[in-house]
Every structure is written in structure tokens, then in C-alpha cells.
Amino acid sequence: MIRMPQEILSVAVWEPVPEMEAASLETVRELISILAAKGYSRDLLYRDPESHYVLLRHWKSEEARRAAQEDADAQRCWAKLAHEIQILKVYEKLEVVPLEASKVP
């Protein structure tokens, strides 16, 4: 049986540093574009009423996540973001919880 790589869900909750919201959103858009173009992930970005941003990142696989962490273009964006946002919470890897009664641990 051929096993397909399993996607990995990561979640980051952040807020922009004061006066950096526009710049941070530009950097996030650039990062998302780079990761998508290179086939590493697909992302969704949300904002709550308190201006906290929630980024849902579906990594294509563990290998794709590792490759992205070593990618110079992605590293450049992450370095810029370090000066533009304050990270509130990160979930590096979330696991699916089966909802069917027969599969619940």
C-alpha cells in the first residue's frame, strides 16, 4: 500500500507590534505566497475583534515543513516578522481527533 504524506496543522496567534500592522500583513502575505509557490503549505489567516490574528497552516508533510524551515526566502520573512509581530500562542503540530465512537481512544 502506498502511504500518502500526512498534512500537519500548525496554528499561530499573534498581534502586530504598534504601528506595524500594515508591514506585518505585507510580510505574512509574502511568506504565504512563498510557502504556497514552493508547495510547502496552504494557509488561512483570520482576525478576531481584538485585532489578534490567527494563522492556520496546513503543511503538506513533515518533510515539507522541514524544507521550509531551511528555505532562505522563508527564513528572510520569518526574520522580518520577528520585528513586526508579537506571537501570543503557537501550536506547532495538532493531531486530528476521530469523532467516530469506534475510533475514539
Q: What domains, with CATH codes, occur in the chain?
A: 8-95 (3.30.70.100)
Confidence of residue 88 (pLDDT cuts 50, 70, 90): very high
Element (H, E) at 80: helix 72-81
Q: Are 45 and 54 in contact (CB under 8 A)?
A: yes
- Please state, for a pLDDT cut of 70, what percent of the chain lies above it: 91
Q: Residue 101 pLDDT more than 70?
A: yes
Report in angstroms the alpha-carbon separations of 32 from 3, 10, 18, 35, 37: 27, 13, 22, 5, 8
Element (H, E) at 82: none
Helix 72-81 to helix 62-70 angle, to the nearest 10 degrees?
Answer: 70
- Please state, for a pLDDT cut of 90, what percent of the chain lies above it: 80
Q: Residue 14 pLDDT more than 80?
A: yes
User: In what order do the strands lie in the sheet containing 41-47?
Assistant: 41-47, 53-59, 8-16, 85-94
